Amino acid sequence: MITSVQNVLITETCGLPHLETKPEMPFTRNILCIGAGYVGGPTMAMIAFKCSQYKVTVVDINPERIAQWNSDDLPIYEPGLDQVVRAARGRNLFFSTEIEKGIRDSDVIFVSVNTPTKTFGAGAGMAADLQYWDKTAREIRKHSRSSKIIVEKSTLPVKTAQAMEQILTCGDNGVCFDVLSNPEFLAEGTAVQDLENPDRVLIGSSQTPQGLMARDVLVEIYANWIPRNKIITSNVWSSELSKLVANAFLAQRISSVNAISALCEKADADIQEVTRAVGMDSRVGAKFLNASVGFGGSCFKKDILNLVYICRHYDLKEVADYWEGVVKINDYQKERFILNMLQVMFNTLARKKICLFGFAFKADTGDTRESPAIRIAKRLMEEKADLVITDPKALNNAKDDLKGVDGNVSYIEDPYEAAAGSCAIALMTEWSLYKGLDYEKIFQTMAKPAFVFDGRNILDHPALFETGFNVFPIGKPPLTHF
C-alpha cells in the first residue's frame, strides 16, 4: 500500500527512478543504515522486524562488529534484542561491511555513525567531532548513482543537516539528496520497548515541497507500527535541537536531585522522601528523580556540552553557563562520593580492598561510556585502594576503560567472590541482582568494619545495618555502628 506511492514520490522528488529499475526485487524499499552501533543496530532491527516488505541493510567500517551482529553473540547487550534480530536476520535484515554496494542499492539511508565530543582543536572538550559524519556524507556522494533520502540519526549539533546537504549536493552526477533529521530517543536497557512503543517519533525536514515529500516517506516507514499521532514533524533545526534539549532536561533533573541530595545529607533530610513529595506534583512528575552517584551514558554529557558550545557560539553566555552547571554538578556528585568514602574510612584507602558493584552506566546494559564508575575507579586507584570490579555484563568494557591506569584492579563476575575480603562495597549500577544477594553471607567474608556505599539507593539500608554494615546511602543520613 505504501510502496508504489512512495516510489512515485521519490521519483517525483528527485527525478530519478530507482526501485523501478529492479522490478524483480521482492522488497518494496531498500533501507541502509551506516553505523552498526547502539543506535543503528537496534533501530534497524526493529524496522526490519516490523516491516518485512523492506530490505534493511546495516553496514559498518568495523568488520568485527558486523561479524558479531551476524553471530549468536550480538555486540551489545539489550534485553529483547536477540529475539528481534533473530526473527528478521537473513529474512530482510542484513549486516555487512559492503558500504559502497549498500549505498548504491539503497533509496533511504540512515546515518548513525558516532559523533563523540571533539578532543582536539577548536571546541575541544565541547563541540561534536563531525569527522565520521563528514566522511560518511562524502562516501554517500561518491557511490550514489540514484537519488536518496538521507536520515540523520546520530546526535548532531544544530544545523549539521544543512552542512550535510551542502556536501551532498555539490556532486556533478545529477544525483540529489534530501536530508532529514530523525533524532533517536531510545534509552539503553529499554531500547527494544522504546523502539516498539516510543513516546514520539520526530522527523525534521526542510519545508520545501521536495523536503516535505521526503519527510512523508519516512513517516510512512514508521507508520507501519507507530500510531500517526505519535509521529511528529518539524523543521530540521527544531528537530536537531529537540534532541539536545530533551537530554539536557533529563540530565538537569538528575543534577537537580543530586544537588539536593548533598543538602539532605547535611540537613538530616531524606532525598527519597523529598523526591516522593515533589514528584507527586503532576506538573513535575515522578520519573527521573533518583539521586545517584551521577549520570553517565554516551548522550547526556556530550549533548549538554554541545548545547553549551552552541550557546557560546551565539554569545549567550548566561544560557551556556546555566546548562554547563548540569555537568558541573554531575562531576561534583562523583567527587563528593569519593571524598565521603575517604573520610568515613578513616582518611586512608591505601591498600584497602574495595569492591565496585556494577560498572555499566545504568542497569541492563553492558555499556560503560561516561559511566560514573570510571571516575570513581580512577579516583580510588589514585588513593591506592585495591579494586575489585564485578558486573554481569560490563567487565570487558571496564577492562578497556581502565587499561593503562596505574594501580591494582581485578575483575570478578561473581559478586560473592568479588566482595570477599573487601573493606567496602561501593554500588555503582542499579542491577536488580544486587538487591537479591545474601548480604549476611557477604558480611561474613568481608574485612571489618565493613562499609556499603550505595551510589544508587537501591539496597535495603536498615537490613544491611542490622547485619553489621556501616551504610552510606546518597542523600540520607548514614547508618553507622560507630
User: Does 36 sit near ligand ADP (CB under 6 A)?
Assistant: yes
Q: Where are the beta strands (DSSP E) in 308-383?
A: 353-357
Question: Which of ligand ADP, ligand UDX, none is residue 160 near (CB under 5 to 8 Å by kind)?
Answer: none
Q: Candidates 87-95, 233-241, 297-305, 330-338: pick the segment binding ligand UDX (CB under 6 A).
A: 297-305
Q: For the beta carbon of residue 453, count every other beta carbon within 10 angstroms.
A: 26
- The residue from 176, 299, 311, 423 that is catalytic is 299
Tell me the three state secondary structure of residue 277: helix
Q: How far is the CB of 91 from ligand UDX (least distance, A)?
A: 27
User: Does 247 sit near ligand UDX (CB under 6 A)?
Assistant: yes
Q: Report the residue from 106, 136, 182, 330 that binds ligand ADP according to the rule CB under 6 A.
A: 136
Separate counts of helices (H) and strands (E) for the chain = 18, 14
Q: Report the residue from 48, 179, 213, 299 that binds ligand UDX according to the rule CB under 6 A.
A: 299
User: Does 366 sit near ligand ADP (CB under 6 A)?
Assistant: no
Question: Which of ligand UDX, ligand ADP, none is residue 132 near (CB under 5 to 8 Å by kind)?
Answer: ligand ADP
User: Does 156 sit near ligand ADP (CB under 6 A)?
Assistant: no
- CA-CA-CA-CA torsion sign (163, 167, 172, 173): negative
The contact pattern for ligand ADP, residues 286-325, with x = CB under 6 A and - = no contact, is: ------------x---------------------------
Residue 260's nearest CA partner among 246, 285, 286, 278 is: 278
Q: How far is the CB of 473 from ligand ADP (least distance, A)?
A: 31
CB 70 within 8 A of CB 95: yes
Does 79 sit behind a cis peptide bond, omega within 30 degrees of 0 on the bond before it?
no
- The C-alpha cell 531524606 sits at 270
- The C-alpha cell 542523600 sits at 475
376/380 Cα distance (integer angstroms)? 6
Please report, for residues 126, 246, 423, the alpha-carbon distance to residue 447 in angstroms, rounded to integers and kept in the order given. Answer: 43, 45, 5
Q: Report the residue from 20, 53, 125, 135 that binds ligand ADP according to the rule CB under 6 A.
A: 135
Q: Candidates 48-56, 76-84, 120-128, 289-297: pick the segment binding ligand UDX (CB under 6 A).
A: 289-297
37/59 Cα distance (integer angstroms)? 10
Q: Candidates 76-84, 100-108, 186-194, 434-442: pick the segment binding ligand UDX (CB under 6 A).
A: 186-194
Q: Candidates 132-140, 373-381, 382-390, 453-461: pick the segment binding ligand ADP (CB under 6 A).
A: 132-140
78/167 Cα distance (integer angstroms)? 35
Helix (H) or strand (E) holding 179: strand 177-181
Q: Candidates 46-54, 109-117, 202-210, 217-225: pick the segment binding ligand ADP (CB under 6 A).
A: 109-117
CB 453 within 8 A of CB 426: yes
Burial of 310 (0-12, 13-18, 19+ CB in 10 A): buried
Q: Report the residue from 44, 46, 49, 60 that binds ligand ADP according to the rule CB under 6 A.
A: 60
Q: How far is the CB of 75 from ligand ADP (least distance, A)?
A: 8
353/384 Cα distance (integer angstroms)? 10
Is 299 a known active-site residue? yes
Binding site for ligand ADP (CB under 6 A): 34-40, 59-62, 65, 99, 112-114, 132, 135-136, 154, 298
Which residues of the shown chain bind ligand UDX in the complex (CB under 6 A)? 184-188, 247, 250, 254, 288-290, 292, 295-297, 299-300, 361-362
